[in-house]
Amino acid sequence: MMKKYFLLLDFDGTLTPIVSRPRLAKLSAGRKNVLTKLAKRKDLAVAIVSGRELDDLKRRVGLKDVIYIGNHGFQIEAGNRLVVHPIARKSQKLMERVYKELKAAMNIAGVIIENKKYTLSVHYRRVKPGETGRVKRIFQKVTRPYLANKKIKVTGGKKVFEVRPNVVWDKGKAVAWLLERYNKGNAIPVYIGDDTTDEDAFRYLNDKGETILVGRKKTLARRRLASIEAVYKLLKELLIDGRI
């Protein structure tokens, strides 16, 4: 059977709620059951797309028969094939160095710094409101020399700063790479996401498939869903009648 849809689903804020600490994110049994049924459908392909490190993402989703895109696209696992962007692989020691400098400088309660091997994240959701300015100043001070030497790129999301290798690569580029190689049947791509980093995928897919934002922020997506609950309602409807 030909694939009808190629589902590309963000994780945090789309399939599971945003939490105060990244390690607390959990996919409920009921929601995992919906995704399991989707992954088994012959008329669907399913990919989970995330800024999380690949192994962390796989642990939290825990499904077979899906494609995993981790680290904003720097890691892609499809079947038995694992692809790591070559520049990201070369940047691993650089990320470790930046991580250690940020850990040493960022002595602020509530800050969580994640070393994700090929990228790193500075979460400040739990920081007191009066301290967020200091978080930003310290982050900018540490990363400024690396930005000046064009060794890294810095992006932002929901209460998080991201440090990445200095290469033109993002969720949109990763989705393009994936679809070119794994969508030979021309299934309709459907991307659902909630964060700034998902806008790159929306931009790429807007004239090729369906793009859906979860939430109310300004977006390039063509459609909106109000909540995670609405995401699962849509996915359940897809299971029933086979249409988005």
CA distance 5 to 30: 22
CA distance 6 to 49: 12
CA distance 237 to 164: 37
CA distance 159 to 126: 9
Low-confidence ranges of the chain (pLDDT < 50): none
- Looking at residue 158, its pLDDT comes to 85
- 194: annotated active-site residue: no
Q: How large is the C-alpha radius of gyration of the chain?
A: 18
Q: What share of the chain is helix, strand, coil (3-state, %, to 5)?
A: 40, 25, 35
> Of 10, 12, 56, 194, which is the active-site residue?
10
Cα 197 to chain center, whole Å?
A: 7
* Domains of the chain, each with CATH number or no CATH: 5-85+169-241 (3.40.50.1000), 89-165 (3.30.70.1020)
CA distance 166 to 143: 12
SS3 (DSSP) at 28: coil
CA distance 115 to 111: 13
- Looking at residue 229, its pLDDT comes to 98
163: β partners: 120, 154
- Looking at residue 179, its pLDDT comes to 96
- Looking at residue 238, its pLDDT comes to 95
Dihedral (Cα; 124, 128, 130, 136), 10-degree rounding: -10
Tell the burial category of 194 from Cβ atoms under 10 Å away from its Cβ (0-12, 13-18, 19+).
Answer: buried
